[in-house]
Amino acid sequence: MATGNSEFMSSSRDEKAQAAKPQDSCTGKPQDPEWASGLKKLYESVVDEPLPDSFKDLLSRLDEHEGK
Amino acid sequence: MTKRELPKRSAEDKRAFKRELTEVVPHLRAFARGLCGRPDMADDLVQEALLKAWAAQERFEPGTSMRAWTFVILRNAYLTDMRRNRFRGEYDEGVAERILTAPAGQEEPLHLSDLHRALLTLPPERREALLLVGAGGFSYEEAANICGCAVGTIKSRVGRARAALSSMLEDGDIPDRAIDDPAAHRAILEELDEVAAGRGEAAATK
């Protein structure tokens, strides 16, 4: 009898990573410590920040270089 | 080894590159901030990486992941700067407090600033692995490509990083990285040399 219930451990913690790799061999512990969502939140909070002008300037300067 | 002639870029290719590069900037900023902790330095690092990416755009293969490609550049810039001692995961409490106040947080028992501080105490190779997989949503395979190491190595680093964070945050015991201590500082720089050389495992197994 094959048993295939290791999928049970998957959670929605990091969807992409889990989708690509359904089972996590090296952690037998609960997969979803409370800080895991905090880590994503940290990352997303920076992603969602408005882009500082310095970056807009830099990006537009790249084009100028291209022009010469 | 086949040395492939890179096709000449059309104006359309260049526009596409610029567009994709622009789209990925917020992600670079998030990754950089996780790596080095200080928002101002993180942004400097991203600017440096953007200039390098622009200069190297002929080497970008259209259709592949711009985020992964630029993360490699950012990471290399970070490791170089770290070894030049420009920053060492310094943590600016005031800035962090301002930035990390979670907007959508209901009753959040966990302070994100604690999490960030704990993250910065991790050895760099574990920190970046956890950032890539746990925050950036990369697969283990993608993270391994970015870091230039084996998939198993990434899994082990992520596992160790998770265990360390869990224990620090559960116990509420987040050590200072003690970067003023010369011995600790030297150890950090040695770790970085290992990571930069793609041999992070030696450092990871203390």
Q: What percent of chain B has pLDDT over 70?
A: 68
Question: Scanning every residue of chain B, which has its alpha carbon at the shortest distance from the alpha carbon of A15?
Answer: B137
What is the residue whose two structure tokens read 């028992």?
Answer: B109
B36: Cβ contacts below 8 Å, ≥ 6 apart = B42, B45, B78, B82, B87, B89, B90
How far B169 CA lies from chain A's nearest CA (Å)?
A: 8
pLDDT band at residue B205, thresholds of 50, 70 and 90?
very low
Please indicate whether residue B53 or residue B8 has the higher confidence score (pLDDT): B53
Quick one: average pLDDT of B50-66? 94
- Exposed / middle / buried, residue B36 (Cβ in 10 Å: 0-12, 13-18, 19+): buried
**Pairs of residues, one from chain A and one from chain B, whose beta carbons lie less than 8 Å apart:** 120
List chain B residues with CB under 8 Å of A55.
Answer: 25, 43, 46-47, 50
Please indicate whether residue B195 or residue B170 has the higher confidence score (pLDDT): B170
B99: Cβ contacts below 8 Å, ≥ 6 apart = A45, A46, B39
pLDDT in tens, B65-98: 999 999 999 999 998 887 776 555 455 555 455 4
Please report which residue ranges of chain B form alpha helices under DSSP H: 11-36, 39-55, 66-83, 93-100, 112-121, 124-130, 140-147, 151-171, 182-196, 200-204
Q: What is the pLDDT of residue B161?
A: 95
Contact B118, B125 (CB under 8 A): no
- B198 part of contact set with chain A, CB < 8 Å: no
Quick one: average pLDDT of A33-55? 90
Q: What is the pLDDT of residue B143?
A: 97
pLDDT band at residue A10, thresholds of 50, 70 and 90?
very low
pTM of the model: 0.70
Whether A66 shows a pLDDT value over 70: the answer reads: no
How far A3 CA lies from chain B's nearest CA (Å)?
A: 24
- Exposed / middle / buried, residue A25 (Cβ in 10 Å: 0-12, 13-18, 19+): exposed
d(CA B147, CA B204): 14
Quick one: average pLDDT of B182-199? 60
Q: What is the pLDDT of residue B127?
A: 93
B8: Cβ contacts below 8 Å, ≥ 6 apart = none
Q: Give me B163's structure tokens.
A: 């265990």
Interface test with A, best of B51, B57, B162, B168 (most A CBs within 10 A): B162
pLDDT in tens, B32-49: 999 887 888 899 999 999
- B169 part of contact set with chain A, CB < 8 Å: yes
Q: What is the pLDDT of residue B76?
A: 93
